[in-house]
Amino acid sequence: MSSFKQRAVFISDTHLGTRDAQSEYLLDFLRHTECEYLYLLGDIIDIWKLRSGWHWPQLNNDLLQLVFKKARTGTQVIYIPGNHDEMLRKYAGSNFNGIQIQLNAVHETADGRRLLLIHGDEFDSVVASNQWLAHIGSWAYDVLLWLNRHFNNLRRRMGFPYWSLSHYLKHKVKNAVNFISSFEQALVREARQRGVDGIVCGHIHHAAMEDMDDGITYANAGDWVENCTALVEDEHGQMRIIHWLKESAFLLSIQEECEAHQNMPKESKEPEILSTPSYPTSWKLPEQEALKYMIDVAANE
Ligand SMILES: [Mn+2]
């Protein structure tokens, strides 16, 4: 099995324990990935769901075992709890079978930049002007997920009530865009105040990687509920967001080609065709595309 080799991997918001968790794809990602540092940036296990609707397939146990195995075999694994797994915050400073629990951390990239790692819910109160989305996991977010799935169908079927739905979306989408940008600004401010070169977080389920005007990096690892994204750093300190479902076959074939080239410089070897994770055709649109679609619909109303 060929591997996707990176220096550091950052993932967040896997929400294991909910029905929306994409455990199968996450397992596929982690099985194919090798790294020196693995950062779990919160909302990894959705402990809130323990109260009702807990969903824990065997896959989730396989996932945990794989992470423990990585920790045993040379990967430094750091778990920064979020708001859905805040019960783990009281264990900050402890080490569970090689997994280090911390409230936050500073990661130093291969090219010497210092990045503050946090989950991000700490800033919900700062971003209070947009309360409807300030609490990911609340009913508003469930509504957004539901819309992602059903908006197409509804729109076709609805006829007259179409206007009110569209009005509703336009309002919400505008708020969502405002929310994301004020969240980013709050985190960049924090990075500046702490004197670090950048900040890496999760929480809002919106993967991003941007160098701001004043040289501060804002990165968000995204989620494994809708988007299946991770932030990765290569051996040179280059960082980027990957969308595993879209890119896995490509990333693995590149890696394999490099290895084949290194091992057998005289022969050119056809890259093997790799199996990609199959996913249902009813797979949900990534959130950003759904938002773009909603904006288009609202604009053409
Ligand atoms: Mn969160």
pLDDT at 214: 84
Query: What does the DSSP assignment read for 80-105?
Result: ---STTGGGGGGTT-EETTEEE-S-E
pLDDT at 49: 80
Classify residue 285: in a domain, yes or no. Answer: no
Strand order in the sheet with 99-101: 95-96, 99-101, 76-79, 33-40, 4-11, 229-233, 239-243
The Cα 207–Cα 186 span in angstroms is 16
How many domains are contained in the chain?
1
Classify residue 271: in a domain, yes or no. Answer: no
User: What residues flank ion ligand 1 with Cβ within 5 A?
Assistant: 43, 82-83, 121, 203
Q: What is the pLDDT of residues 81-100, one digit of tens each?
A: 999 999 999 999 999 989 99
DSSP bridge pairs for 106: 116
Classify residue 232: in a domain, yes or no. Answer: yes
The mean of the pLDDT values for the chain is 80
Residue 110 has pLDDT above 50, yes or no: yes
**274 alpha carbon – ligand 1 mean position (Å):** 34
Classify residue 284: in a domain, yes or no. Answer: no
Mean pLDDT of 76-82: 97
**137 alpha carbon – ligand 1 mean position (Å):** 8
**78 alpha carbon – ligand 1 mean position (Å):** 17
Classify residue 8: in a domain, yes or no. Answer: yes
Of 167-181, 236-250, 254-268, the range with the highest mean pLDDT is 236-250
Mean pLDDT of 228-239: 96
Range of the structural domain that residue 23 is part of: 4-130+184-265
pLDDT band, very low/low/confident/very high, at 73 (cuts 50, 70, 90): very high
**257 alpha carbon – ligand 1 mean position (Å):** 38
Q: 287-299 and 139-158 are packed helices; what angle lies between their axes, rounded to 10 degrees? A: 50
Classify residue 89: in a domain, yes or no. Answer: yes
Query: Amino acid letter at 209?
Result: M
Which structure tokens are listed for 274? 């790799």
**33 alpha carbon – ligand 1 mean position (Å):** 24
Q: What is the pLDDT of residues 147-201, one digit of tens each?
A: 655 664 565 566 544 334 444 554 666 666 777 888 899 999 999 999 999 999 9
Global pTM reads: 0.74
DSSP bridge pairs for 100: 78, 95
Classify residue 152: in a domain, yes or no. Answer: no
Mean pLDDT of 10-21: 93
Of 218 and 140, the structure prediction assigns the larger pLDDT to 218
CB atoms within 10 A of CB 45: 26
Domain holding 61: CATH number?
3.60.21.10
**13 alpha carbon – ligand 1 mean position (Å):** 7
Interstrand relation of 105-108 and 99-101 (parallel, antiparallel or unpaired)? unpaired
Classify residue 261: in a domain, yes or no. Answer: yes
